[in-house]
Chains A and B, each alone.
Chain A
């Protein structure tokens, strides 16, 4: 899917609602293929003053069902507590300029911390256009100039005469007007909703158990399915004895699924055998009764140990030089002081708490899917590829997501559901078990990082190299040569590129059977751990305060080029700003007491800047507690400060959980972990007794906050452990 293509011609449109209210959107609602009337993308103002705002993007906990409607409500001039939110189904259309498809209205994915930045202008414009139409309608009814009227709190007021009319009362008249195509936006100092802390709009449903996640969705007549997937990477089904499974009460059907060919792009993750039953439990029992002979496939000798040997051997040779500033070899050769260290990062599983699931109903040349998806367009694309159904005949409805973390960027489970539905000839809800989820994931790539730095006699950093051997997530993609695999693993413009004259980045592409994908803040997680640890390490080696050293490298506030996601510019001064704020609030430089230590780290991720000061009380690096996490974020204008803080808190604890205990190991060509007893996510007892998060008062436009909080936590923690114990953690997870 290419980016949004919204021409002026098809920008805002308006019409009346069935009840005689105003709807405005990009453009308005189509009759859905199944005859149901659904909100497509719009604001709906009903005569009874109900304000409904559609949320185009999936909410997986990052809070966009609150923050995106806030953008609309601000410009619309309505009271926030009168707003309700509906989820917009996927809306795509044939690309008018050629092959393929594009968004019908606006982008609808949740990934890369893009929801707020991507919708910042358009959602405000939609709200402003509706406001102007309501003003125009009211002014028309009073026979006064629109300029003499103002909107506020869901009503239009004519100050001169003291007359007022509620939006609901004037909505029908407004619906007859043409939307202004260049509505005037409010200025920032007039905001009453944007920039104010708001609670999760769905919180009441969540705490009463009525919020609908994918697993909770239903359509009439649906059966339930689970799949026995081949546990070995790229393995196959040799033969199946279905008899015992078919005899399990409730089992309806058994469906064979062919997996992807080794090396080819994934549509689904693995070959398998699906059991369709009248309940999930019966399907699980049926699956247990299957007798399957598996072909263990081409990776059956792969283990974590063979992967790590592959990495070490790779780094002992020379790789693909992907950035080469100045004259690195000469500068390193001339350096008065040199330092080298290697850092290891493991495979990680996303483990959203709601395991994969999807409803699919294939009927003839049509398909309807309902599920928790970060990238609903991917479900449409995958089902089209696997079943040949025209994408305009595939309806995709998004529920609330029980976590995402990147797992649901890939919609293999929707394709599986559609394949099963087609074969079984009925609507089904596919349910993954936790073991399915942990064993069949697109794992965060594992890698071994080698960093070297050289200093001149004056203590200036004159040479820097980052050499990375990893199993890239850019593989098994159509038409992508292996020489491009580095691009998902090393972001060429990341710190300290452009801040030091002689810099070389070198990549080594590893072979592994484990499927790889995007895990919350993708390559930033491992790279920030390596780079921010190494900064601390070389500062200590030089006898310099790590913060002072990093601030010296970052320099003043200025924009420099950033060609990776989150660009086109980044500002080292803003990173210095969050480091300084976290340092001040986190007592950096003040006495910490025996057996304790503080660490600091910061990182620029997808447009946002975050830093943490972590404090530990440690007997050793295997016996310690985290006593404090103090964070700072510069996300530009914080649209919903409450949720910015929440993302900082949650991101810090996700980073902590991951750094402490999480790793996926490969054993005999399959994943060794299976559930939360072997993939030990943090619990409340790991939460420090002190946490505080600070938002930089920033004049910049807003950016997403789902990912920036993650990368700096792990190095801040390991740097704290070094400060407390003198032992450097160069391998994650920390606890063995």
Chain B
């Protein structure tokens, strides 16, 4: 039995330990915001936070999750108002929107690590694929989110 937490709720998994966390989140827990894009850790649509760090859940066997805490897009903020989400809305980033949960989870972790990232930092760390090509707005939104976080910290 593998026991871990998703968005603060206890999850028990007694099935195949090789099953990727992605499919456990989507089909056993029923949270559909985390997306399947490549199954090979290449696109990042499946990005979640494991113990606070961005991980690509399609390559993460659930057996490695015992005792850990997972946050999905549904758990990133209580009211959908994490600074990254607010910045995404303000800049109106999404087109098809399919990759955006993963982009947001990656960006939230990036900003934890580098509160004021340069464009080069973003190029290096925000490696999720957006097939619609919303990268121009993603970059703007990450900078905007950094500002929003800075404003919160100033208060």
Q: Which residues does A use to contact B, with CB under 8 Å?
A: 59-63, 199-200, 202-204, 206-213, 215-216, 224, 249, 279-282, 285, 351-355, 400-405, 431, 433-435, 642, 646-647, 649-654, 656-657, 675-677, 681-687, 689, 691
Task: Render B111-155 as a binary contact track against A, CB cut-off 8 A, 1 for contact.
Answer: 000000001001110111111111111110000000000000000
Q: A203-B92, A404-B96 are in contact. List 8 more A-B contacts (CB 8 A).
A: A61-B94, A211-B97, A249-B15, A285-B16, A352-B98, A654-B131, A681-B131, A689-B119
Task: Render B32-58 as a binary contact track against A, CB cut-off 8 A, 1 for contact.
Answer: 111111111011010000000000000
B122 touches A684 (CB 8 A): yes
A206 touches B100 (CB 8 A): yes
Q: List 12 A-B contacts (CB under 8 A).
A: A63-B95, A203-B88, A207-B88, A215-B35, A285-B16, A352-B96, A402-B35, A649-B133, A653-B135, A676-B43, A682-B133, A684-B123
Q: Within the assembled complex, what's the spacing in Å between the Cα atoms of A199 and B123?
A: 26
B16 touches A646 (CB 8 A): no
A683 touches B97 (CB 8 A): no
B94 touches A200 (CB 8 A): yes
Shortest A103–chain B CB gap in Å is 24
B85 touches A676 (CB 8 A): no
Q: Within the assembled complex, what's the spacing in Å between the Cα atoms of A728 and B20?
A: 46
Shortest B85–chain A CB gap in Å is 5
Q: Within the assembled complex, what's the spacing in Å between the Cα atoms of A461 and B126?
A: 48
The interface residues of chain B lying within 8 Å CB-to-CB of A675 are 38-40, 42
- Check B68 for interface membership: any CB of A closer than 8 A: no
Chain B positions 79-116 with a Cβ under 8 Å from a chain A Cβ: 80, 85, 88-89, 92-101, 104
Shortest A249–chain B CB gap in Å is 7
Q: Within the assembled complex, what's the spacing in Å between the Cα atoms of A200 and B20?
A: 32
Q: Within the assembled complex, what's the spacing in Å between the Cα atoms of A39 and B152?
A: 43
Q: Within the assembled complex, what's the spacing in Å between the Cα atoms of A81 and B36?
A: 32
The interface residues of chain A lying within 8 Å CB-to-CB of B70 are none
B92 touches A208 (CB 8 A): no
Q: A279-B23, A281-B19, A646-B95 are in contact. Are A677 and B100 (CB under 8 A)?
A: no
A403 touches B89 (CB 8 A): no
The interface residues of chain B lying within 8 Å CB-to-CB of A431 are 36
Q: Within the assembled complex, what's the spacing in Å between the Cα atoms of A645 and B124?
A: 26
Q: Within the assembled complex, what's the spacing in Å between the Cα atoms of A141 and B69?
A: 61
The interface residues of chain A lying within 8 Å CB-to-CB of B123 are 683-685
Shortest B15–chain A CB gap in Å is 8
The interface residues of chain B lying within 8 Å CB-to-CB of A649 are 133-134, 136-137
The interface residues of chain A lying within 8 Å CB-to-CB of B128 are 683-684
The residue on B at minimum CB distance from A431 is B36
Q: A279-B27, A685-B124 are in contact. Are A61 and B96 (CB under 8 A)?
A: yes
B97 touches A651 (CB 8 A): no
The residue from A60, A213, A650, A689 contacting B133, defined by CB atoms under 8 A apart: A650
The interface residues of chain A lying within 8 Å CB-to-CB of B23 are 279-281
Shortest B24–chain A CB gap in Å is 8
- Check B6 for interface membership: any CB of A closer than 8 A: no
A224 touches B27 (CB 8 A): yes
The interface residues of chain B lying within 8 Å CB-to-CB of A647 are 95
The residue from B32, B85, B98, B127 contacting A353, defined by CB atoms under 8 A apart: B98
Q: Within the assembled complex, what's the spacing in Å between the Cα atoms of A210 and B138?
A: 19
Q: Within the assembled complex, what's the spacing in Å between the Cα atoms of A402 and B46?
A: 14
B94 touches A353 (CB 8 A): no
The residue on B at minimum CB distance from A354 is B98
Q: Within the assembled complex, what's the spacing in Å between the Cα atoms of A622 and B135?
A: 22
Q: Tell which of A206, A215, A282 has the most Cβ of chain B within 10 Å.
A: A206
A199 touches B37 (CB 8 A): no
Q: Within the assembled complex, what's the spacing in Å between the Cα atoms of A657 and B37?
A: 18
The interface residues of chain B lying within 8 Å CB-to-CB of A691 are 136
- Check B31 for interface membership: any CB of A closer than 8 A: yes
The residue from B94, B129, B131 contacting A203, defined by CB atoms under 8 A apart: B94
Chain B positions 53-68 with a Cβ under 8 Å from a chain A Cβ: none
Q: Within the assembled complex, what's the spacing in Å between the Cα atoms of A652 and B137?
A: 13
The residue on A at minimum CB distance from B86 is A207
The interface residues of chain B lying within 8 Å CB-to-CB of A354 are 35, 37, 96, 98
The interface residues of chain B lying within 8 Å CB-to-CB of A684 are 122-123, 126-128, 130, 135, 138-139
B133 touches A434 (CB 8 A): no
The residue on A at minimum CB distance from B92 is A199
B135 touches A682 (CB 8 A): yes
Shortest B8–chain A CB gap in Å is 16
Q: Within the assembled complex, what's the spacing in Å between the Cα atoms of A566 and B79?
A: 44
Q: A212-B32, A403-B96 are in contact. Are A653 and B136 (CB under 8 A)?
A: yes
A213 touches B98 (CB 8 A): yes
